[in-house]
Structure 1
Amino acid sequence: MFTDKTLVCKDCGQEFVFTAGEQEFYAEKGFQNEPARCKDCRLTRKNNIKQSKEMHIAICAECGQEAKVPFKPRNDRPIYCSVCFANHR
């Protein structure tokens, strides 16, 4: 069915293996494109995007601690810190 493929990262130019297991995962999720970046470059890009997001300070509706959120808080919904948010799931 699926076999390992060697691809070239568009950022660093290094070869990386797109494993059969990864291909199966992509197919299950309905992804149509193969990855263009190696794992290290994907992680670096993801971290750069995270760091560039503007964070806003809010007060957790449950514990009262300060929480940083990546959206501008509104008063129509409660905002939770990461610990309280995990408890609500």
Structure 2
Amino acid sequence: MYNDKTLICKDCGSEFEFTASEQEFYAEKGFTNEPQRCKSCRIARKNSNGNNRGERELFDATCADCGKTCKVPFQPRNDRPVYCSDCFANRR
């Protein structure tokens, strides 16, 4: 049903194979577009710093249960308790 296709990477311009099994996988997942990048460019793009996953800002807080200082990925508010990772896990 599917045949191997040769595609051109939009980043580096090299040719790469879009195999029949990859096409079948894309179809099973409901993907309608063919891949635009070769495997090495996909990996480089995923690992690059420009992937909108920048460093998270961490805020200092004091755990409401044990009183230990900790860092949290959100701005603590005075009207809500903040828990360290250990106390948070114990409350679940």
TM-score normalised per structure 2: 0.60
Paired residues in the alignment total 74
> Which one has a larger percent helix, Structure 1 or Structure 2?
1
The residue that corresponds to 2:12 in the other structure is 12
Point out 4+ residue stretches in structure 1 off by more than 3 angstroms: 49-52, 56-59, 72-80
Structure 2 segments unaligned to the other structure (5+ residues): 62-67
Secondary structure at the aligned position of 1:16 is classed as strand
Unmatched segments (≥5 aa) in structure 1 = 85-89
What amino acid is the match of 2:13?
Answer: G
Secondary structure of 1:44 counterpart: helix
Paired residue for 1:87?
Answer: none
Q: Considering only aligned residues, what root-mean-square deviation do their CA atoms show, in Å? A: 3.4
Identical aligned pairs, as a percentage?
Answer: 51
Residues 1-89 of structure 1 mapped to structure 2, 5 A cutoff: 1-48=1-48, 49-50=50-51, 53-57=54-58, 72-73=73-74
